[in-house]
Amino acid sequence: MRAVIALDGVDFKKHSGVIAYFREHYIKMGIFDKMYSDIISSTSLIRSKSDYDDFYIAQKDETIEQVKNAEEIYNAVEEYLHTLY
């Protein structure tokens, strides 16, 4: 996502800023499918839990799902960037 928003000349110090901008300017505008908003929400929640919950242990199935989600977003971003360049 950061690679995409960098093309607009913007960056944010916090993940939440990157996510909010990406949703507003790329998902809401239809450039990326709305399913990516759900993936981003899921990923952000798990990231937050793993960072701040002292007793959080990621489950194997959850980890597999997150890797799949990361690959989907990566592929979508890569495809988008190739359409531009």
One DSSP character per residue, 57-83 reads ---HHHHHHHHHHHHHHHHHHHHHHHH
Q: Can you list the pairs that 43-52 forms with residues at least 24 positions away whose Cβ atoms lie under 8 Å?
A: 43/69, 43/70, 44/15, 44/16, 44/19, 47/15
- Enter the pTM of the model: 0.86
Check residue 24 and give left, alpha or beta (phi > 0: left; psi -120 to 50: alpha).
Answer: alpha
pLDDT in tens, the chain (85 residues): 999 999 999 999 999 999 999 999 999 999 999 999 999 999 999 999 989 999 999 899 999 999 999 999 999 999 999 999 8
